[in-house]
Amino acid sequence: MNAYTSRRIAPLLLFAFLLFLATSTAREAAQPDTPDQPHLRSASESTKWHGAKQKASGGNEEQQNEVAESVKEATALLRKVKPPTVSKLAHYTRKPKGFLGTSAYYAKEAFVLLFMGTPNQANLLTTSASTSSSSQPKLAPPLSRAVKLLQEAAQLGDADAIFLLAEMNFHGNFTHPVSYPQAFQYYKQLADLDGNSTAQYMLGFMHATGLNPDVPSDQAKSMLYHTFAAEQENTRSQMTLAYRHHAGIATPRSCDEAVHWYKRVADKAIAYYRSGPPGGHVLSKDSYSLANDVRGVYGEGASVSSAGIHARQGGVTSDAYADAEDVLEYLHLQSSKKDLKATFGLARLHYDGSRGMKRDLRVAKQYFMQVAREYWSESGKIRKDVPGGTEKLASKAAGYLGRMFLRGEGMEQSYSKARIWFTRGLANGDALCQYSLGLMHMQGLGVPQDTAKAADFFSAAADQDLAVAQTNLGMLFLDQGDVVTATRYFELAARNSHIEAFYYLAELNNQGIGRDRSCGVASAYYKIVVEKAEAVWASMSEAYEAFEEGDEQKAIVTYLMAAEQGSEMAQANVAFLLDHTKPKWSPIAWLLAQNRNAKTAVGDAALALIYWTRSAKQQNIDSLVKMGDYYLSGLGTLTSPENAAACYQAAAETLQSAQAMWNLGWMHENGVGIDQDFHLAKRFYDQALETNREAYLPVKLSLFKLRWRSWWNDVTHGGVKSMGSDEAPAKRRTFAEWLNDFLEADAQMYAQEYEADDWGRGEEEEQQRMMGSDGGEFWDAEGEIDDDGLLETLLIGGLVAALGWLVWYRVQQQQQAAEERRRREGVEMGGLPPVPANAEAQPQQAPEAAHGQQADGGFFPQPGDPNWGAWVAGGVGH
Ligand SMILES: *[C@@H]1O[C@H](CO)[C@@H](O)[C@H](O)[C@H]1NC(C)=O
Ligand SMILES: *[C@@H]1O[C@H](CO)[C@@H](O)[C@H](O)[C@H]1NC(C)=O
């Protein structure tokens, strides 16, 4: 069957499956660029400026007033623009949940993909249709009128109008279509007009990332604009400069410069923290690792760094739990069974909020009250005959209730009521109560100021390892000039990652107080301080919301800003979103990825590689392995198996990435980028399995194949170091010797087989042991397959089968096209030699003749083969 027919038929197959859903599936009603009102053509949307510095003629007040008036009118008009309404269906399909939700979601994706001729999303940033300057979007009436007014005002040099237009073009406010070239021009106009630092920052950002396709990225200009803006106290530019000096990006590494800029932002971060109610602003963490949603960039279990020992750490409020609802439900159930711990947990969950769940202080108060009332009656008397342990939980609840009164959270601020609760909890030695009373005495809140008393309270709480109390105690010691004791307390508090403790440690290191000055430590600590106060410099929650709503472009750009400012989490997220090679977690997404791959030029991949690299440099092991993948398959860079091997080796050395170990094993087996060596190959395969049990199947398969190859190598006296022993020097053999070799090698192979079996049994026992004892948790966490999940899996499986061969054909076809394109681009880009696009051109085939190396037997796809990335990446852990 030829490829053309396959392309026709496969969608039809799918269509049959999806029909019932597809009929009810519509594209989201209100997409910004397809308003359904009658269109009015914006008159001068593309008007270019002739002379950007055209200013309002000075002194003409009347005219200025007029301009201000029209800007006001435009703003009023804009307020009338309704935000895009999200249809019920869209809401339903936004986030796959349960069986129906998931299928609807996939149905929509597949439908749009296959039948709607959806705009190609390849290169979200570099070639997306909406970023091209040539498009002339039609605007809905109120918007177009407002834009027109603003444009007139902008031409007369009204800063507010220019700024608003720039923002609308950049962020797409008021449903205005996004146009980076337009935004760039407006920002440039504004920066030239009055040196507005926000505009300068934006220009710096756009120059750095090449977001505007008309202006290629230029790091020198970027540094220039960021420096201008930073000098004018633009926080984001300050952070960008700090990070660039810290990591040596586009400028030589300079610790002093990094500290200089980081300190300026850290001062703001601390000021922000302290500007809050007693006890400081809540520093909510809105940056989530998107990869964690799918249990790491390589899927579940592929890497300890993403899904092993680091996964599911922390309490119920940790973001390791993607679905707060499940936790809530469980706690509700337990709580209704009079489980006081669960009630307290509910209270904490509502008080702290968590990912996917906003803080709800009112509800939190109710639950805290419920817990406290178990121990204290309405009149404050201690109840008799309470079960053991109640007083502890009740005191904790009292601490929180007091805190809420002290800070006026969810209720009116009342120092006296706060004090009552704290005093109650104090009787049972609750740390939060101790600390809070200390705080009241230190700042004289509702009580006379008394530093000595405060120190006593803090000290009691600090002994219970309450970080914030330790910091405060440290501050008191520092006031007394006892730097040594103060430092000790700061270091204790820093273990629990308290922002002020890091700040003081950074200051002490920076100024060399009580120690030698250490610039490196200072900048690292300042960086931590700064990054804890996300609210000061980033809009992480905005990015996450955009991602949740499926607005990938907005999510990427927003994360990109934070990534430029040095946030590792954001860097990994940007790379993750730009990464088209990922073994996607859904077949449709995978299909999309295949589709994109074919159309992807250097653009996104190069950008993704940059951020994988930056994230890897900040100790993200998964990103390091990803870097290796990109080098291996020549994505966004020239193919370099050596670099790939170096990345994998560095990652494997941390003993955290089973994926890296497996890859190294594979490279040793096939002699890609490193010497072919079956012995080492086995070692790495084994290590991968040791690191991660879920790698069992792929590792076993690989070992099986390796064993045969090693055996064949022994028999034929190949040049590769065998898997078993140190090899004997090759010599010409008699037939008898050959036979002997054959038998020995044979025996060796069986010995290994046996050994392996033995070992396999050991593992089974191990698993049984785990199931038997505390294994409940193990299986709860990993093996939970409810009915929905099972059905889902089956259905998805069917879908994959239906789509699989379609994709295969497409890939085959598009490979050629992609290579052609890449070659052409290589030529267009001048300096770069054409990048070999696929396996056939890759070097690991070349040495085969020369060194007597074995070519891969073909058990697995070749690197560079589009299947390879998906296979390798999906292989371990699934
Ligand atoms: C930049 O200009 C806009 C519009 O006039 C203004 O609202 C904003 O505050 C300015 N930013 C700074 C940092 O001056
Ligand atoms: C436009 O949207 C961005 C991002 O959503 C926001 O930060 C900015 O304040 C908005 N600007 C205006 C003028 O509403």
The percent of residues in the chain predicted with pLDDT above 70, rounded, is 61
The one-letter amino acid code at 556 reads I
Q: How far is the CA of 814 from the centre of ligand 1 (A)?
A: 48
The residues facing 376 across adjacent strands are 382
| Mean pLDDT of all residues in 367-383 | 89
pLDDT bracket for residue 425 (50, 70, 90):
very high
User: For position 586, what pLDDT does the model report?
Assistant: 37
User: For position 46, what pLDDT does the model report?
Assistant: 33
Higher pLDDT, 499 or 654: 499
Ligand 2, CB cutoff 6 Å, lining residues: 164, 167, 171, 173, 542
What's the pLDDT tens digit per position in 12-46? 455 444 443 333 333 333 333 333 333 333 333 33
What's the pLDDT tens digit per position in 595-644? 444 333 336 778 888 888 888 888 888 888 888 888 888 887 888 888 88
What is the DSSP track for 457-471? HHHHHHHTT-HHHHH
The angle that helices 451-463 and 467-479 make with each other, rounded to 10 degrees, is 140
Q: What architecture (CATH level 2) is domain 322-498?
A: Alpha Horseshoe (1.25)
Q: How far is the CA of 198 from the centre of ligand 1 (A)?
A: 7
The one-letter amino acid code at 844 reads Q
pLDDT bracket for residue 333 (50, 70, 90):
confident
| Mean pLDDT of all residues in 719-731 | 54
Q: How far is the CA of 196 from the centre of ligand 1 (A)?
A: 6
Q: Which of 608, 637, 642, 612 is nearest to 627 (CA)?
A: 612
Q: Which of 655, 628, 699 is nearest to 863 (CA)?
A: 628
What is the DSSP track for 668-726? HHHTSSS--BHHHHHHHHHHHHHH-GGGHHHHHHHHHHHHHHHHHHHHTT-SSBPSSSP
Distance separating alpha carbons of residues 97 and 329, to the nearest angstrom: 15
Per DSSP, helices labelled H in 45-127 are 61-80, 88-94, 98-115
User: For position 79, what pLDDT does the model report?
Assistant: 81
Asked if the model's pLDDT at residue 192 lies above 90, the reply is yes
Backbone angles phi, psi at 213, to 5 degrees: -60, -20
Asked if the model's pLDDT at residue 753 lies above 70, the reply is no
Q: How far is the CA of 230 from the centre of ligand 1 (A)?
A: 14
Q: How far is the CA of 83 from the centre of ligand 2 (A)?
A: 13
The percent of residues in the chain predicted with pLDDT above 90, rounded, is 28
The one-letter amino acid code at 100 reads L
Higher pLDDT, 51 or 258: 258
Atom of ligand 1 nearest to the CA of 234: 13
Distance separating alpha carbons of residues 727 and 744, to the nearest angstrom: 13
Pull the structure tokens for residue 735: 């037939």
| Mean pLDDT of all residues in 284-303 | 67
Pull the structure tokens for residue 225: 């604009």
Q: Which of 282, 180, 228, 874 is nearest to 589 (CA)?
A: 874
The winner for highest mean pLDDT among 380-394, 700-714, 798-812, 861-875 is 380-394
Atom of ligand 2 nearest to the CA of 173: 1
Residue located nearest, by CA, to atom 3 of ligand 2: 171
Pull the structure tokens for residue 317: 């409020």
Residue located nearest, by CA, to atom 13 of ligand 2: 164
Backbone angles phi, psi at 354, to 5 degrees: -155, 180
Spell out a b/e string for 623-639, using b for 16 or more CB atoms within 10 Å of the CB, else e: bbbbbbbbbbbbbbbeb
What's the pLDDT tens digit per position in 754-803? 333 333 333 333 333 333 333 222 222 222 333 334 444 444 455 545 55
What's the pLDDT tens digit per position in 846-863? 333 334 444 443 333 344
Q: Among 162, 194, 198, say which to mutate for ligand 1: greatest number of ligand atoms within 8 Å of CB.
A: 198
User: For position 510, what pLDDT does the model report?
Assistant: 93
User: For position 738, what pLDDT does the model report?
Assistant: 54
Indicate the length of the chain as a whole number. Answer: 878
Distance separating alpha carbons of residues 859 and 844, to the nearest angstrom: 15
User: For position 100, what pLDDT does the model report?
Assistant: 57
Q: Among 75, 150, 160, 163, say which to mutate for ligand 1: greatest number of ligand atoms within 8 Å of CB.
A: 163
Residue 163 Cβ contacting ligand 1 at under 6 Å = yes
| Cα–Cα distance list, 577 to 122, 572, 615, 635 (Å) | 12, 9, 14, 15
The winner for highest mean pLDDT among 214-228, 448-462, 699-713 is 448-462
Which-ligand-closest: CA of 170? 2
Q: Which of 568, 532, 538 is nearest to 555 (CA)?
A: 538
Atom of ligand 1 nearest to the CA of 164: 4
Pull the structure tokens for residue 165: 């237009």
Q: Which of 840, 674, 866, 620 is nearest to 665 (CA)?
A: 674
Regarding pTM above 0.75, the answer is no
Which-ligand-closest: CA of 169? 2
User: For position 535, what pLDDT does the model report?
Assistant: 87
Which-ligand-closest: CA of 154? 1
Q: How far is the CA of 241 from the centre of ligand 1 (A)?
A: 21
Q: How far is the CA of 151 from the centre of ligand 1 (A)?
A: 17
Residue 639 Cβ contacting ligand 1 at under 6 Å = no
Higher pLDDT, 863 or 373: 373
Spans of all domains in the chain = 322-498, 650-718
pLDDT bracket for residue 170 (50, 70, 90):
very high
Residue 197 Cβ contacting ligand 1 at under 6 Å = yes
The one-letter amino acid code at 351 reads Y
Atom of ligand 2 nearest to the CA of 163: 13
CB 291 within 8 A of CB 622: yes
| Mean pLDDT of all residues in 155-160 | 88
Q: How far is the CA of 578 from the centre of ligand 2 (A)?
A: 24
User: For position 666, what pLDDT does the model report?
Assistant: 84
